[in-house]
Structure 1
Amino acid sequence: MIDRLVVFGATGDLSARYLLPGLAALHTAGHLDARFQLIGADRKEWDGERFRGWAAEQLDRHGAAWPHGARKAVTSAAEFRRADVTDPADVAAAIAGDGPVALYLALPPSLFPTAITSLHRAGIPPGSRIVLEKPFGESLADAVELNRLLADLLPEQAVFRVDHFLAMTTVQNLLGSRLANRVLEPIWNSTHIAEIDIVWDETLALEGRAGYYDGVGALKDMLQNHLLQLLCLVAMEPPVSLDERDLRNRKVDVLRSVRPLTESDVLRRTRRARYTAGRIGGRDVPSYVDEDGVDPARRTETFAEVELELDSWRWAGTVFRLRSGKALGADRKEVAVRFRAVPHLPFGDEEEAPPNLLRFGLDPEDLTFHLTGTGSHTHTLAPLTLSARMEPPELPAYGRLLLDVLTGNPALSIRGDEAEEAWRILTPVLTAWSQGLVPLDEYPAGSDGPRPAGEPG
């Protein structure tokens, strides 16, 4: 296990909200010992005392769920080194020490190529590992070039392209529900399943993130990475094991099976929109174009939806719908599996049974199965709902990801070819949208989103 973590961009929001609390969770669970070192590297003119004070404040704010002793242990293990990632000498000084090191690039993705080049020139100890956050590049060409740079630096097994969605309890439960239950696996195919919706709708608006979000948009921020990763776990064939090779091979198979979208497919099967002024939960929300830091000329979407089909034996004929939107009227974060209707209902012509629906709630993490049973009268139908709440995990998502990095388990990270396949799938959408072939619709903040095509206004 590596006991030295260097975080480049250590004073940013990612460290404050996720990495520091994740480390406190690891300490609480007994995964960090007295040898562990946290080195914060940033361009700011700070020293170790100021960084430790800042880290303590952030842990009190974002990691209060973890014991004070664990939070204190994380800050006590922290040091600070001023470093400009464009300067190989600064980078070499930041990572100087004994033994391998885990390198976390908590940086804007535009700096990844420069940082990787600086690390290569600085030289890193054998056995080290590197962590990159999404998005992995801005295009397929970017992803290919990043993979080339990384291959020159470290072996693939030492590269962690992390997606914290994969460490969420319910996401893990997708595999368990599918693969460990005889009642589900035989019907987990297009013969029985009509549609699968993979949705991350949120009431959260821009909330001051224009510097990142306005240059990215919903398609790149959510669908290209998080939701395609969920698609992989939902649709993959049962792997021989859950080790990194078998699991990631099956995920790549899913992405390779996605039918390429033609220009006419993009026109018919994708939607994009951005929110206008409205009210959410009793508060006024300005129009997206009036948010601080937004450039209206970019025509950035805050809502994206794409329908995909898989050319595979298991899934031919099932529609997979990926959707994400901001500033909506209700949070809806789930994988919803909609089964086909039964061939015949012996309850009279007037009776209709809604399709069975299996919901994997992502936030909050729960499981709901909507069935149909008989009502108070023998010949009537009534809805029947089975539900379960997931047991709280020992570690939060970032705690699990950090543990995998430190112990060297890349099973839940994204392999290089997987990242490229994800970009391949959505490149036709990005191209058509950039050319204005799909209209940028609008929806009021606090609404259900844009109306489907053909629905009257």
Structure 2
Amino acid sequence: MTAAVPTPLPAPQRLIVLGASGDLTRRLLLPGLGSLLAQQGERRISLTGADRRELTPKVWSSRVQDALREGGASSERSAQIAQTSDYRTLDLLDEAQLRDLMATVDGPTVLYFALPPSITRSVCQILARIGLPHQVRLALEKPFGEDEASARELNTLLEDLVEDSSRVFRVDHFLGTAPVLRLLPLRTANPLLRGVWDARQVESIDVVYDESLTLEGRAGYYDRAGALRDMVQSHLLITLALLAMEEPADLGAQAVHDAQLAALRAVRPFTGDPGTSSRRARYTAGSIGERTVPDYLAEDGVEAANDTETLAAVTVEVDTPRWRGVPFTLRSGKALARNRFETVVRFRPVGDGPADRLVIDLDTQEIALRLATGGTDWRGTGPLELRGEDQAVHLWPYGQVLQAVFDGDEALGVRGDVAEQMWRICEPILAAWQQGRTPMDTYPAGSEGPTGWEQETAVHSS
């Protein structure tokens, strides 16, 4: 008998994390790597961290091991990765030090930018002067620029840095969450939904990401960004693209990104005016559970002059034959009564009856379909709710992201022109807000939001 030929192990890959001492690396990236190693133990990964903050080898190794185990990696594998990993204290904006780091690259490597966008841009400019080894793939965190012009400039810089665009991966971890990952197959591979996924049958769609969390020590970033830039411009618009895009010819990166781009290019303010098609608000003093929350303007690190919103809602139209006339509302905020991470599709009612509704929970992975059906007798109507939960074991979002980066699966990244379109949509809204055309509402921390917003988070008619 001929012996079976063993499946070759994947080539070893190195992950270099720039900004390795930061919160994103400890809280999200390394546990995500742990979840990947838990499911794919055959992967051979080496890890290097680099940042300005000094960390001893013992502290770094302990951080790595704890984070990998948090993500589900075995104690043995976590210890092995931690013991062989290294941490380099260096100034990422010092060309000589960065050159020395890149000189250590001797095989397939992912250079992960866990950095603020301005630092990422500066590091890329230095790398363009140094030259990037051909084995290196770049992974960049959002936001991709601060507006459409800077997003375009970043894209030009990256094109100069690497000739092959497949070596650049723009990370939006929403694309690594199981409920968002399955939006496209749910609506295209399911006969029940495929036949009703258009303006003839759909009355409205909401994408909501409400948090009970407050600033949690992130005032330095959040007070300059706000809810629109932090969530709507990236996570919620890419979710809208998956909901509204036409079915791609295949699931390759180019076809998927082309379909996303076409959908986003068709996005318009629902009323035609970005000022009246959007709402903004800021939390005031209140309580969330047993926790007392101060007024946002009294939070440490907040500057009133920034006029930052902590809740944003935008209603748009996707001006295509499939969706023309259907309001898509994107809403995200902080310090609210409860976490509410969901996509709600409301179908057009039959006559005066109740509307059917599909709710996709972006947190619990539960799908609920609420149907109008018979009530207590054959003349009555009442709701029937069907619920189901995905029982599969999924990677952490950042585990899914890292898998895609390691394997070169560009479809789970954000293409440069798609990033530009998302800024194109948001810039007129930000301009209207700066001109005072959209009032700043308020809501007590721990409430459902401003009085009058309730379920309707933006104007749905002109």
TM norm structure 1 = 0.93
- What corresponds to 2:417 in structure 1? 417
Deviation at residue 64 of structure 1 after TM alignment: 5.9
Cα separation, 1, equivalents of 2:267 and 2:71: 43
The structure 2 residue matched to 1:309, chosen from 317, 323, 326, is 317
Contact 1:2 1:102 in 2 (8 A): no
Q: Measured at CA, do residues 54 and 16 of structure 1 come closer, stay the same or move farther in structure 2, by a change above 3 Å?
A: same
Contact 1:82 1:90 in 2 (8 A): no
Cα separation, 2, equivalents of 1:124 and 1:47: 28
- What corresponds to 2:166 in structure 1? 157
- What corresponds to 1:212 in structure 2? 221
- What corresponds to 2:38 in structure 1? 28
Q: Match of 2:121, as an amino acid?
A: P
Q: Match of 1:312, as an amino acid?
A: T
Q: Measured at CA, do residues 320 and 412 of structure 1 come closer, stay the same or move farther in structure 2, by a change above 3 Å?
A: same
Contact 1:24 1:74 in 2 (8 A): no
Contact 1:2 1:101 in 2 (8 A): no
Provide the aligned C-alpha RMSD in A: 1.9
The structure 2 residue matched to 1:77, chosen from 64, 70, 84, is 84
- What corresponds to 1:349 in structure 2? none
Deviations, residues 8-42 of structure 1 (Å, cap 9, x unaligned): 000100110111111212222225544x2111011
- What corresponds to 2:118 in structure 1? 110
- What corresponds to 2:287 in structure 1? 279
Cα separation, 2, equivalents of 1:64 and 1:21: 4
SS in 2 for 1:205: coil
- What corresponds to 1:139 in structure 2? 147
Q: Measured at CA, do residues 33 and 169 of structure 1 come closer, stay the same or move farther in structure 2, by a change above 3 Å?
A: closer
The structure 2 residue matched to 1:87, chosen from 94, 117, 123, is 94
SS in 2 for 1:247: helix
Cα separation, 2, equivalents of 1:366 and 1:97: 43
Percent identity between the two aligned chains: 44
The structure 2 residue matched to 1:11, chosen from 7, 16, 21, is 21
Deviation at residue 59 of structure 1 after TM alignment: 4.5
- What corresponds to 2:379 in structure 1? 379
- What corresponds to 1:451 in structure 2? 451
- What corresponds to 2:190 in structure 1? 181
Contact 1:257 1:310 in 2 (8 A): yes
- What corresponds to 1:370 in structure 2? 370
Q: Match of 1:433, as an amino acid?
A: W
SS in 1 for 2:432: helix
Cα separation, 2, equivalents of 1:377 and 1:198: 35
Structure 1 segment 294-443 matched on structure 2, within 5 A: 294-342=302-350, 344=351, 352-443=352-443
- What corresponds to 1:55 in structure 2? 64
Cα separation, 1, equivalents of 2:333 and 2:172: 19
Q: Match of 2:35, as an amino acid?
A: A
Structure 1, unmatched stretches of 5+, are 345-351
Aligned length: 443
Contact 2:275 2:433 in 1 (8 A): no
Q: Match of 2:86, as an amino acid?
A: E
Q: Measured at CA, do residues 214 and 73 of structure 1 come closer, stay the same or move farther in structure 2, by a change above 3 Å?
A: same
Cα separation, 1, equivalents of 2:217 and 2:314: 27
Q: Match of 2:311, as an amino acid?
A: F
SS in 1 for 2:275: helix
The structure 2 residue matched to 1:129, chosen from 137, 150, 153, is 137
Contact 1:136 1:419 in 2 (8 A): yes
Q: Measured at CA, do residues 331 and 260 of structure 1 come closer, stay the same or move farther in structure 2, by a change above 3 Å?
A: closer
Deviation at residue 58 of structure 1 after TM alignment: 4.2
Deviation at residue 98 of structure 1 after TM alignment: 0.9
SS in 2 for 1:184: helix
Q: Match of 1:120, as an amino acid?
A: A
Q: Match of 1:303, as an amino acid?
A: L
Structure 2, unmatched stretches of 5+, are 1-10, 457-462
Cα separation, 2, equivalents of 1:364 and 1:86: 41
SS in 2 for 1:403: helix
Cα separation, 1, equivalents of 2:249 and 2:24: 35
Cα separation, 2, equivalents of 1:134 and 1:242: 23
Deviation at residue 207 of structure 1 after TM alignment: 1.4
Q: Which moved more, 1:45-54 or 1:187-196?
A: 45-54
Deviation at residue 260 of structure 1 after TM alignment: 5.8
Deviation at residue 432 of structure 1 after TM alignment: 1.2
Deviations, residues 222-243 of structure 1 (Å, cap 9, x unaligned): 0000000000000011111111
Cα separation, 2, equivalents of 1:363 and 1:54: 26
Q: Measured at CA, do residues 131 and 163 of structure 1 come closer, stay the same or move farther in structure 2, by a change above 3 Å?
A: same
Cα separation, 1, equivalents of 2:431 and 2:285: 28
Contact 1:266 1:428 in 2 (8 A): yes
Q: Match of 1:430, as an amino acid?
A: L
Cα separation, 2, equivalents of 1:146 and 1:453: 37
Deviation at residue 47 of structure 1 after TM alignment: 4.5
Deviation at residue 283 of structure 1 after TM alignment: 1.9
- What corresponds to 2:459 in structure 1? none
Contact 1:82 1:94 in 2 (8 A): no
Deviations, residues 328-356 of structure 1 (Å, cap 9, x unaligned): 112211110001111x4xxxxxxx53211
Deviation at residue 265 of structure 1 after TM alignment: 1.2
SS in 1 for 2:336: coil
Deviation at residue 106 of structure 1 after TM alignment: 0.4
Cα separation, 2, equivalents of 1:312 and 1:223: 21
TM norm structure 2 = 0.92
